[in-house]
Structure 1
């Protein structure tokens, strides 16, 4: 271990711009952590103190002459790369030589990531490395808008620090947003006017020598585009923004999400945007994506036909959420001259591009779509699967919740061979504390494992919490007040709290149903009264409330430290599904709400027999009868009859395979709608789905070929629209029906002639331009002879 607490930094003479900025980063980041401000000189001194010689190789030529032979043992790096040599000797020397100014910054980043620091102390293990990034685009979107779960609360200084930290892990691009997107114009958290912030961010990004991208959606319809006043307004807005920003390297215009232009109009408009852009930033290009919420064959054909015309203003194509064409196929379609940039959604856990595999319903309805979501192994796998078809990525992010994932992607974009545990060790050492490098790195990996498999039987959740509590017990005040530590600690407590509740409330529901089974002996009203009392224990005698209290204390700290808005009421988050997962920490994890609504209905019935029949319907809601079959298709455990041609490992975006879709929105509808639907059983909140024109296929075997059957299906319309059902390839059970924004339970006859072989294959297909098929429950009921 080399002690460099009294080192001197040696730089070439006359450096400026991003190279000088990189040296500033080195000095400032060391001082923040250690209190030591290393002196900076421009020539080699005859001192016995350690030297850190740093700069671009071209400008370092004279300074590194005594060490040329040592440096030559390391491979010469390519563009944006660096060489680092830590020489332990009587006179310790550290060389950080960048291939260019960016290489200097990234070399300094690597050096800082390996430091063992403390107040008044800087140490490092000797090492040497030559490194060049694999992919040319490496970045993240940082949107200053109300929809995000933290960015809108940030100051200019917080944005600069975060951009700097992303650069230390190899990011070379930052994507910013215009003031007007699919969002409110401002938020109560904003400290700076959105346009002013955009201008400032462009200056900051440029000062580090990084590329400035703009995500610029079209916030007007096809009809509005044809109106002269709309076109004039849109052109004037872009003229103002492009003229005021110091640097723009690329403008990314999504085809949709948001945006609803015809593909031909999209290209026509994009050329107009380029003409404005070119006036102020002549080297910048327009990038487009075939994103479209309802992609018809015509829309996609028109989009790709326009690309094949090879417009000069087009810089490349972006692959992001809601693109029907799989990435390998997209690469085959797009002319080779155009690069493809990945736009991965690393911020969401459900209803997204790469949902969590086999996520437990209890997590989906509490943590929700935009929670703290470190997924290091999954993110590496997704990155490495698709990266070969791209020139790199700029991620889609809605806040600080995906912090770990950002650094995993940047490290993988630099070198996809990097083990994620190495990234997490660097992340912990640099951003939290070298004292807990291994403990926290492994703790983050454990948080990802918390989400694997059914929560009821996942004992690892409790072990993970105990590991984090052990770190918490011995951590310093600085660590305890570190927002990155707090985010992960909160997840450990939250996961354990939800598991404790799930075990408790699952047993309460089971007990309540057992009481209902005795209704004929107890009397209907007494039975539902006792059953309701049993379910109410979840509120009256809660479990692990100390875990929940801890979560709220950490949420308070995160709001104070980084502007993280984990509650609508308490922290002014924009919506419950926009990172405000603390608001759902106590949402029932059993069918309490559904059963309560049934009980209220039963109490209004006048006749005892009517009440008993209603209770019997509750008990037997999922019973398909003797010789029948029932599947809750939102539960992967019920997928034994589902036909899958691909598994998650080769299709994590589910463009060609079925996936579990969660609709927690059903638990947030108004009381009137809930009553109209007859209550919301939890089996409606998770369903099986296929996307676009991928068929959903379910096979039954060993059926009674001499019996007629009835097929009962619950359709959920959160994704899909018009869908059709065919049996055994040629029997149409129903033609296209519209399921969009509906919950439909339909019953169909299956005559014995259809299943004369004892087999039944059901195939659902979506109409052209629809987003897919979605089914929550299915009963196959054998008819009595």
Structure 2
């Protein structure tokens, strides 16, 4: 007979290979026997989770029992138990590495005569739930049937001790402020079943801040604590210090508010106080506050710890903080949190004394203006989908996890809604095993939430959604294929129409294709308008501009692909009803356009028609026809300079000569609530881009023209150039003559020195938006 081989690439995992019987193990009629040695609350939770989640997917209601009378039994036990009602619990073979570590589990099938026993053995209470999660994610379930591979023997323990996600019950979250206690309970359960062990709330919310609140925020704070206790998960809170602790009584008022909260919570394990974002306190003020806070925390929750981040700290503040740790060696601090705008993660780890834990606080929820912006994202998506769309990026986040997580003891991710659900699962699984097969993780996700029958097809669809975002949108053939794939799934699976995870994935597929169709159409309209300019001398500038405006208006009065747009709106409405997703400020009371309101920007211009409208008004005010004609010619050749010249929109996904990438979430300039009328290229920028050219004429003279904001300290092949024009505002120009001696071989590398602007907010710092190499 063939051997059954389980390849499980996880730390702490071992497996055994045994003779495989002909059929899979049928658990459809199994009874559930739970060891008496497990504490009552977890016996109830474990049994309920297993019975209820199987019933949802099969309509089978497995019975809990107190004996071995059933031919097939799912036996749940702790690893330090030797037997259950006379049946010996399988030994852990130390030689094979099967000894479970904290939170680990073992799933093993034993056949004794005609009796089949599927053991779920936990190293502790959490391990039991993780073992149940693995069973539910790998079993094949359909109507009235559940099966599992026979002779299975899996032992697994987590690689990272901290694996959690932030769930702030607040207005700025794009869905959670509308959730009920039952929805949070189910969602936390599902997160645990995929390996999470911590959840972080954001308390102290104004009860009038959201029209969506189902219960008072202070009541929900306590309920979330209870839910965490039910699932043996740690309950954390993110609680900034008073903004300015130097104000009289601010320190004491902050302590009083915090203690009242601590007293209300039945469970509390971690308190995270960000050093910045928000907060501007010097560590000399912040540290005494944290020390006093720890006393109050220990009073109500003796095992809980205080954590702090150095977000926004300058060099002096960082030095002060670490010098304090070295000299004072405080016991009241549990650990340091690395988040956006913290010192480099490897530096923090190196400077942090070994006694303190180091927690990761990665942003898995945002796409732009964030910790981890989408790489090489087309501007059309940045303008329309914005910061918080449905954003499954399993491969992107696996790369980032393995880049940074090794410097930490684990993570609680930053999240602001249900749109990043897949990313949470990916991070939880990477926390178990940093080398986990990502495609298999998505397969388990699809199997668990959508069913065995379509798990593989749904996995393909999810992975293709990530590919939709890779590089220039025009010409990306995968977008249409992705939509066709999801439409087939949509038509064949009406039973999933009310599943919110299904709804948001389908909405994304329709949205992406709608934006691609619009982009292609609107770019062509703009190109055709520039062709109209060619006859301006005969027709007259004013008549030419009038005709151009009429042509550009086709984007609004003759829009394309309205059937796709309608589907997006239909799914957005379904998501509001199913999970409270607020995809519009006006329609669903989202807290702001940046907070997942993708409907409000779905028709944002994807060409420069707003900018051209404003430019035409400026041209109308010019005195002579010649001036007007010259300005029209400038508009026509803005992105298409004369032959032998080159132009690059610095951060565009299709920039040909740009070799650098955006620094940190600043690839899309946000102003006027996302409806800027600046040129599209002006809304994309880098602080210090690098460009390379290999096709210059070594005998020709060139001028380098730069647009952007502020300073531009430009070097050509390493030499700092002196400008002949130096304008500093948006859509003004700096010009630098290029000496022929610098391009003897026709090659040119342009770099920019960074000005000394650390004292300025990044929005006020110098940046580059467009670069031209103009042949004279």
Q: TM-score, normalised by structure 1?
A: 0.88
SS in 1 for 2:286: helix
Equivalent residues of 1:358, 1:452 under 8 A apart: yes
The answer as to whether partners of 2:713 and 2:720 remain within 8 angstroms in 1 is no
Tell me, yes or no, if structure 1 residue 357 matches structure 2 residue 375.
yes
The one of 538, 541, 557 aligned to 1:524? 541
2:456 aligned partner: 438
User: Which of 162, 172, 182 is matched with 1:137 structurally?
Assistant: 162
The aligned runs of 1:272-671 (5 Å cut-off) are: 272-292=292-312, 295-309=313-327, 310-323=329-342, 325-477=343-495, 479-605=496-622, 607-622=624-639, 629-638=646-655, 640=657, 642=659, 658=663, 661-663=666-668, 665-666=670-671, 668=673
Equivalence for 2:73: 51
Offset of 1:328 from its aligned partner?
Answer: 2.2
Give the Å deviation of 1:199.
1.3
- Aligned ranges for residues 118-157 of structure 1 at < 5 Å? 118-126=142-150, 127-157=152-182
Moved more, 538-547 or 445-454: 538-547
1:25 aligns with 2:49: yes
Please name the residue that 2:17 is paired with: none
Pairing 1:164–2:183 present: no
Determine if contact 2:641/2:647 at 8 Å carries over to the other structure: yes
Q: CA deviation at 1:746?
A: 4.2
Q: How does 1:53-202 map to 2 (within 5 A)?
A: 53-59=75-81, 61-63=83-85, 65-66=87-88, 68=90, 75-87=98-110, 90-126=114-150, 127-180=152-205, 186-202=209-225
**1: CA distance, partners of 2:644 / 2:59:** 75
Deviations 1:630-673 (A, max 9, x none): 3211125436354x5xxxxxxxxx8xx75673335246478xxx
- Give the equivalent residue in structure 1 for 2:5: none
CA distance in 2, matches of 1:249, 1:629: 58
Show the counterpart of 2:283. 263
The whole-number CA distance in structure 2 between the counterparts of 1:300 and 1:637 is 39
Q: What is the distance in 1 between the residues matched to 2:27 and 2:658?
A: 63
Q: What are the Cα deviations for residues 66-107 of structure 1, in whole angstroms up to 9, with x where unaligned?
A: 463698978121111011013467433211111111111110
CA distance in 2, matches of 1:664, 1:91: 66
Specify whether residues 185 and 332 from structure 1 end up closer, same or farther in structure 2 by C-alpha distance, changes over 3 A only. Answer: farther
Q: C-alpha distance in 2, partners of 1:560/1:474?
A: 23
Rounded to whole Å, the distance in 1 between the matches of 2:663 and 2:600 is 30
1:420-469 residue CA offsets vs partner (Å, 9 max, x unmatched): 11111111111222221101011100100111121111111000111111
| Higher mean displacement: 591-600 or 52-61 | 52-61
Quick one: which of 14, 39, 44 aligns to 2:63? 39
Aligned counterpart, 2:681? 683
What is the distance in 2 between the residues matched to 1:70 and 1:661? 52
| Contact kept in structure 2, 1:764 and 1:773, CA below 8 Å | no
Counterpart residue number, 1:777: 770
The C-alpha deviation readout for 1:715-761, integer Å capped at 9, x for no partner, is 358xxxx8866677675859xx998xx73634255585995989675
Query: 1:765 and 2:754 equivalent?
Result: yes
Kindly tell me: are residues 746 and 274 of structure 1, through their superposed partners in 2, closer, same or farther at Cα, counting changes over 3 Å? farther
2:9 matched residue in structure 1 = none
Change (3 A) 1:738 1:153: farther
- Alpha-carbon distance in 1 for matches of 2:272, 2:208: 21
Mapped contact 1:364–1:664 kept (Cα < 8 A) = no
1:92 counterpart SS class: strand
Give the secondary-structure state (helix, strand or coil) at the position aligned to 2:391.
coil
| Matching residue within 703, 708, 715 for 2:708 | 715
Q: Which shows bigger deviation, 708-717 or 226-235?
A: 708-717
**1:541 positional shift:** 1.9
Q: How big is the shift at 1:403?
A: 0.3
- Range 399-408 or range 230-239, more displaced: 230-239
1:230 equivalent among 227, 241, 250: 250
Alpha-carbon spacing, 1:32–1:304, altered in 2? closer, same or farther (3 Å): same
Whether contact under 8 Å (2:243, 2:280) holds in the other structure is: yes
Q: Distance in 1 between matches of 2:715 and 2:129?
A: 60
Distance 2:274 2:208 in 1: 20
C-alpha separation between the residues in 2 aligned to 1:669 and 1:366? 9
Rounded Cα–Cα distance in structure 2 between residues aligned with 1:622 and 1:505: 16
| Rounded Cα–Cα distance in structure 2 between residues aligned with 1:241 and 1:766 | 46
Deviation at residue 130 of structure 1 after TM alignment: 0.6
| Whole-angstrom CA distance in 2 between matches of 1:620 and 1:194 | 56
CA-based RMSD = 2.9
Q: Which moved more, 1:190-199 or 1:257-266?
A: 257-266
Q: Tell me which moved more, 225-234 or 571-580.
A: 225-234
Cα distance change on mapping 1:602 and 1:391 into 2, 3 Å:
same
Structure 2 CA distance for partners of 1:760 and 1:662, relative to 1, 3 Å: closer
Q: Is residue 74–residue 129 contact of structure 1 (8 Å, CA) maintained in 2?
A: no
Aligned to 2:11: none
Given candidates 172, 190, 214, the residue that maps to 2:237 is 214
Distance 1:668-1:512 versus aligned 2 partners, 3 A rule: farther
1:755–1:506 distance in 2 versus 1, CA, 3 Å: same
Q: How many residues align?
A: 740
Change (3 A) 1:419 1:514: same
How far the C-alpha of 1:255 sits from its partner, in A, is 1.4
Alignment check: 8 A CA contact 1:659 1:689 kept: no
2:412 alignment partner, SS class: strand
Distance 1:301 1:703 in 2: 48
Separation in structure 1 between the aligned mates of residue 140 and residue 690 of structure 2, nearest angstrom = 55
TM-score by length of 2: 0.89
Gaps of 5+ in 2: 1-23
Counterpart position of 2:21: none
- Of residues 136-145 and 75-84 in structure 1, the stretch that sits farther from structure 2 once superposed is 75-84
Asked if 2 retains the 8 angstrom alpha-carbon contact of 1:341 and 1:391, the reply is yes
Q: 1:467 to 1:451 in 2, by over 3 A?
A: same
Please give the alpha-carbon distance, in whole angstroms, between the structure 1 residues aligned to 2:692 and 2:492. Answer: 55
Residue 29 (structure 2) pairs with residue 6 (structure 1):
yes
Matched with 2:7 is none
Instruction: Indicate conservation of the 8 Å contact 2:714/2:753, yes or no.
Output: yes
1:82–1:130 contact (8 Å) kept in structure 2: yes
Q: 1:408: Cα distance to partner?
A: 0.5
Please say if residues 377 and 653 of structure 2, whose CA atoms lie closer than 8 Å, have aligned partners that are also in contact: no
CA shift in 2, pair 1:669/1:395, >3 Å:
closer
Is 1:16 the counterpart of 2:40? The answer is: yes
